[in-house]
Structure 1
Amino acid sequence: MKKLFEKAQLKSLDLQNRVVMAPMTRARTSQPGNIPNDMMATYYQQRATAGLIISEATQISDDSQGYSFTPGVYTDEQVKGWQPVTKAAHEQGAAMFCQLWHVGRVSHPTFQKGELPIAPSALAPIETKVWISDDQGNGNMVDCIQPREMDQSDIDRVIKDFAYSAKRAIEAGFDGVEIHGGNGYLIDQFLRTNSNKRTDNYGGTRENRIRFLIEVVDAVIAAIGADKVGVRLAPFITFKDMNCPDIVPTILEASRQLQARDIAYMHLSEADWDDAPVIPESFRIELREIFTNTIIVAGSYTQERANEVLNKGYADLVAFGRPFVSNPDLVSRLENNYDLADLDGATLFGGDERGYIDYPAMQIAEAVE
């Protein structure tokens, strides 16, 4: 019987519990250069009683950005900025992976030096916006536009960018990287029939639509080793105009190929809104039969639901997102059945320490009260 608070193993890493801090964009980097800073180190250190922290989504190149103030991990300044962050997390006992992303068509020329964003096909995502801010943090949500279809040189370059940023992430002190293959971003765009209309080796059949993901994974494995690689996938999430009727069997086929490469883990991003689709138990059973390495699940899990999915064997680690924002001591609160503090949604993206590192731990909150 697995329990949320017992120790766990992730390849060669010893985890102090099965709680994962999910990747959450908070847009607090220093400018110019999207550089991690001391405030971010404090933020992650406060939450490092988790067994594993997965960083906020992190750019692999200049053209992979889609939102203001999100960090990168490909310049010397960014790597130097991340080093105190990973050190702070490790000092509290947490392992830490860097989530690597390329947003693809979920971007704007503002982030592309005036050029069009790139994507598998020249299709704009319907009702999809990105956050663009000035240097003072005053921003607006702006519609995405029609991207440019990637040619082979674009594909080759992005694959190299993933591998290069993975090496830089290890230099920055991360224990590994998570390749973001879900939530409507570039790799997910290749996987789905409604966003991928290509007629070459990267489109059409499941094998072809999976090809880009696998080539990215293989390049990153060659750079840092399979034991340091995780992949995030989102088979049941359809926002950002990503409703593909073939995505579930496509994800299952991709899972076979990922298991064959013996990567560290697969991270399932599950829908977390009120009327979200329920993941069929049949899918969880089939995925577990295919992928026998570590599975992480994320999506509005309570402690009860977390222990249930662990004990059924469908997952090995459970990730928590929003509760970690307003509860830096989330592990303790869950373990002791303490009430959880509510978050301030107005301070989620951008800004200063307010709504970021000023949420008190339980004992401080009680003393104030």
Structure 2
Amino acid sequence: MTTAGGTRTRTATGAGTAAEPPGDAGPETWLRHAREVTDPVLREAVGTLHPRARTVAGYHLGWWDAQGRPVSAGWGKAVRPALVLLAARAAGARPGTAGSSAAAVQLAHDSSLLHDDIIDRDATRRHRPAAWRVFGLAGALLAGDAMLALAVSLVREDGRGTPAGAVLNDAVQQFIGGQFEDIGFEERADVSLTECTTMAARKTGALMGAACRLGALAGGADETRATGLDAFGRSLGLAFQHVDDLLGIWGDPGATGKPAGADLHARKKSLPVVAALSSGTPEAAELAALYTRDPSLDDAEALRRAAALAERAGGRRRSADLARRHLSEALDHLDGTGLPRPGTRPLRTLAHWLAGRDH
């Protein structure tokens, strides 16, 4: 079939023909492999959407511009598809197994990003104007809904049917709950780090855990090992979110694709901010004052001041420490599966990279 961008794609059952890297390959090699396996499945699936939803989805995924002309902006790091494929590999699956589940998880994730950008009024995504800025709120919202429905259909194509659908559905319900909590935090001044961690576990950890469980199911793992891989993904998700939130304040905009201090500008109760606000220091009190709806936080100097206060109050250090702790927990869960270490090596490599990345 042909997509709006004019690219001929393979069927989902023919996905996964990209040569698998050696077991000792680096993390970015595995991420590139995940994109190669997943992209044809995504293109075919998105090609079944209503033309207007397809245009928005393909723009968001970086395949074409607003007029449907092919570009190569890319659809992100492919972390969640990589977790699906590598969990299946660790469970002993043949190369290429779980391509449909990998695409389904990416569709669910991108659906949430479309909706997040609307909720947060984020103007950019992956170095381009966010879809809602290009196609309007209604267009982006409906496209996100269509992508989520498509993910639920697609996840059943790896041969696990209802169990796989239930795994994805549970993760979706959890990250929706996490989003509600995140929104509610904006109206509160007394958010605890425990509450913020619970929110991140739902909003980020649940889908990363589901990615690993779906891979385990596709690879024929028993329930004990599937549960262990799920726990690995959830803990890794918390480490990932700590790093993501750190980059949201102190990251290089050229690498992250977001303006400097974007999370501070939006007054997000991110993990390092909450860690700073709960420190009981004078800097925490000043940061709390800046976090009111005072428009002074909208200028560059105020954003730099807020970032400095969060760092001096210990938010940056504490969040980085917690990222390392959650990474250690994730690796312990992976050890607990009893899966052969050569098979789990790529998961370990990817986990270390995700917890120490700079973009």
- TM-score under structure 1 normalisation? 0.33
Higher percent of residues as helix:
2
Report the TM-score when normalising by structure 2.
0.34
Where is the strand percentage greater, Structure 1 or Structure 2?
1
